[in-house]
Amino acid sequence: MDNSARTGAEMECGLGKSSCNIMSNVGAENCESEGSKKSRVTGNGLKSNISSAADHVLEQPEGKGANTGNGASKESDVAAKGCSSAVPGSNANDPNCRRGRKVISPWRFQIGYKRSFSKAFCSNGGSLETPEYSAQGSSTQCTPGTRSTVRCYASPLSNVRVSAVRDFSSGKGEKETRAAYKKVKTEKDDDNQGMPKNGVALAREKVIRSLRDFRLIYKNLLNKLEDKSREGGADLQAYKIFRDRFLAQCNDERFVGNVPGIHVGDIFYARVELCIIGLHRPHRLGIDHIRKEDGTCIAVSIVAYALLSDVKDNFDALVYSGSRTATMNQKIEGTNLALKKSMDTKTPVRVIHGFTIHAKRNSQRKSILLYGGLYLVEKYWREKESEDRYVYMFRMRRMAGQKHIDIEATMKSEQAEPYDGVIMKDISQGLERIPISVLNSISDEHPMPYIYMSRLKYPPNYQPAPPAGCACVGGCSDSKLCACVVKNGGEIPFNDKGCIIAAKPLVYECGPSCKCPPTCHNRVGQKGIKFRLQVFKTKSMGWGVKTLNYIPSGSFVCEYIGEVLDDEEAQKRMTDEYLFAIGHNYYDESLWEGLSRSIPSLQNGPGKDEETGFAVDASKMGNFAKFINHSCTPNLYAQNVLYDHDDKSAPHIMFFACEDIPPGQELVYHYNYAIDQVHDENGNIKKKKCLCGSVECDGWLY
Ligand SMILES: C[S@@+](CC[C@H](N)C(=O)[O-])C[C@H]1O[C@@H](n2cnc3c(N)ncnc32)[C@H](O)[C@@H]1O
């Protein structure tokens, strides 16, 4: 069945026309469990017939393009013949020739040592409060020697004009700038000041991290100032807090040419952002310069404000009016002289285009700063501006050979506000403790419909024995009298803030058989989500999940929910994007090396239980965790947890934060696919490029 046909069938079900249409998609067991079906009226008044109290069919809003399905599946799949040759003894019918499954393992950077989340890495001691980003708070954290003062440039504003230059598009200009650009590249080795590749990636990561930290501080500050009519200068205040707090991240180095880590086409939202990353250091002046050893000054960057239409029409060629005071005639001195020197020495000048756009939804004005790349000053002249006032004009041309910038497309994505495009208020339709909204600010696509469940669905004949619970009527503590503490190797695995103390092959939470109260701090993952999370459309990896709250390291984030399938059934499934292999890896030395393994039930090696394999399939039924993407530098890790049964072959997969995660950050874990071990239904090795963009990316998802 193709995707569009499938969408049609599920919509019919969602509209309550036929409860059985969906069966062709979600498996016959739904039809069989008719007796347990509940009819639910969903948020928008549509009805869905569902197979358990915890299930929801997600409706497809009319006319929306869900038939494109999982955007991720369109990405770079490369199939290579070779199951039978590359993997010895394997072919499509060989049980070793498996399709893709993620496996549970701790965050890989923990391997080799015990990482205590709540003590060493939870900067907030597990507090759910976002760390305080205030000037006062941070100044006490810095010794005077490490603090620096904020540079405030109270100099007169430079006035900039961008206009079309009639004789400017000749081939000659382009040839000259191309040659000059080549020369710069050769002299500097590359666009990144001759840095090695890894250094470039690190520089990029530093830029991204700095901007993220600054924006968080700025946003918090603006929220606090809201009642006080948004005092001016909040950007500078935020900058001061940022510098106090993250001095090491500030780039005070002065560069001629491109600044490592900053790409042509990058967008910024405040002048101080340019200072932070070292693209243009003066906060107000339009021209930045450096002093050479011989004492002469050359200009290295300018900020050129203009109307959006002018920027669109004259991106490659602009006329910049020099720096001046409001009343005086301009002179060739100071930064104007520096710009002239750049012309004389053919020194490339970074140009940052500044303009204003209007957000689509509320027409609010938004200032944008766009890094346009390197330009050469070609010519300057004196021009009469009014009766008794003269200004200097500098004609600049973009050096050829640089990345093309599609201004229209850039503006379109910028016009969509970050919180524009919430297309579903709650994908869980009330099944989670906190609604999970869905945001798509880049297209009108909706997630592929699926049955929402907040609890695992076990195979019909699966009936594990209930666990022997503890008898701690008054609550559990680290005592040998608590059966659950003993099962955990002598300690409760969580601190009193509910943060996991260390990754372990297996964690036993207290469960329904225990006598302790629901407030027992050995009940964490079973209580469900406690942070505001959002499913969102990513630029290149289909859907993803991000947090809207600050998540302290070690916190429980969510469980991976889907249908629990035995291995045989899992092998039959055609889609494996959402398959999670469980219960297989307690004894894998490479995964748990150095981590606490003192779990009594694991001491005697694999038992019969663990030989039976299970997988959780979230393709047709599951929660929002199915949308969490992979990253080679994850901020979540998957933890085996047992609480409602004792069967180690089918543990719950619970995600915990392995670092403090700021609001707005995408949630990601390491899928741990074995490279070249994923096969399609014909036995061919399947390969997929990893698009996580991390500095330490391994290159391949599988
Ligand atoms: C469990 S799904 C994650 C949600 C998925 N993005 C979606 O839209 O439904 C796993 C699939 O997402 C895509 N994906 C996740 N992380 C990725 C990454 N780092 N690079 C490339 N593709 C990724 C791949 O297509 C992968 O098979």
The model's pLDDT over 366-389, given as tens digits with 9 standing for 90+, comes to 888 999 999 999 999 988 877 777
Asked whether 627 lines ligand 1 (CB < 6 A), one says yes
Instruction: Classify burial at 385, counting beta carbons within 10 Å of its beta carbon; exposed 0-12, middle 13-18, buried 19 or more.
Output: middle
The pair phi, psi for residue 300, each rounded to 5°, is: -115, -20
Q: How many CB atoms lie within 10 A of CB 229?
A: 7
Give the orientation angle of helix 197-225 with respect to helix 234-245, to 10 degrees. 130
Judged against a pLDDT cut of 70, whether residue 287 lies above it is answered with yes
Report the pLDDT value the prediction gives residue 348, as an integer from 0 to 100.
96
The pLDDT tens digits of the residues spanning 79-106 come to 333 323 222 233 333 433 344 566 654 4
Centre of ligand 1 to C-alpha 309, Å, is: 38
Question: What is the pLDDT at residue 343?
Answer: 95
Asked if residue 516 lies in contact with residue 627, where contact means CB atoms within 8 angstroms, the answer is: no
Atom index in ligand 1 nearest the CA of residue 72 equals: 25
Where does residue 641 rank: exposed (0-12), middle (13-18), buried (19+ CB within 10 A)?
Answer: buried
Is the predicted pLDDT of residue 495 greater than 60, yes or no?
Answer: yes
Average pLDDT, the chain: 71
Report the range of poorest mean pLDDT among 118-132, 186-200, 235-249. 118-132
Q: Is the CB of 691 inside a 6 Å radius of any atom of ligand 1? A: yes
Nearest to 464 by CA among 653, 652, 645, 650: 645
Q: Which residues contact 340 (CB under 8 A, 6 or more apart)?
A: 332, 377, 380, 394
50-85, pLDDT tens digit by residue? 233 334 445 444 333 333 334 333 333 333 333 232
pLDDT at 327: 52
Alpha carbon separation from 463 to 7, 111, 454, 460, 645 (Å, rounded): 34, 34, 19, 8, 9
Listed range (170-174, 452-456, 587-591, 662-666) with the worst mean pLDDT: 170-174
Point out the ligand 1 atom lying closest to the alpha carbon of residue 630.
16
Give the pLDDT mean for 162-191.
Answer: 44
Return the closest-CA partner of residue 665 out of 559, 497, 536, 524: 536
Cα(244) to centroid(ligand 1), Å:
38
pLDDT digits (tens, 9 = 90+) for 213-257: 888 888 878 877 765 555 568 888 888 888 888 876 666 778 899
Predicted local distance difference test score (pLDDT) of residue 183 = 57
> How remote is the CA of residue 667 from the centroid of ligand 1, in Å?
12
Predicted local confidence at residue 63, as pLDDT:
39
Ligand 1 neighbourhood includes 577 CB (under 6 angstroms) = yes
* 557 Cα: distance to centroid of ligand 1 (angstroms): 19
Percentage of the chain surpassing pLDDT 90?
Answer: 31
Instruction: Decide whether any atom of ligand 1 lies within 6 Å of the 101 Cβ.
Output: no
The number of beta carbons lying within 10 Å of the beta carbon of residue 113 is: 11
Closest CA to 298 of 230, 346, 266: 346
- pLDDT tens digits, 654-689: 999 998 898 889 999 988 887 777 777 777 888 889
**Number of neighbours of residue 567 by Cβ within 10 angstroms:** 16
* Bridge partners, residue 393, by sequence: 321, 381
Predicted local confidence at residue 149, as pLDDT: 18
Highest mean pLDDT of the ranges 85-99, 399-413, 447-461, 688-702:
447-461
Q: What is the mean pLDDT of residues 301-312?
A: 88
β-strand pairing of 389-398 with 422-424: unpaired
> In this predicted model, which residue has the larger pLDDT, 653 or 365?
653
> Complex ipTM above 0.85?
yes
pLDDT at 234: 84
Q: If pLDDT is split at 50, 70 and 90, which confidence band does 190 have?
A: very low
Regarding the beta carbon of 541 and ligand 1, being less than 6 Å apart is answered: yes
Ligand 1 atom nearest to CA at 690: 20
Q: Ligand 1 in contact with 578 (CB < 6 A)?
A: yes
Q: How far apart are CA 358 and CA 49, in angstroms?
A: 44
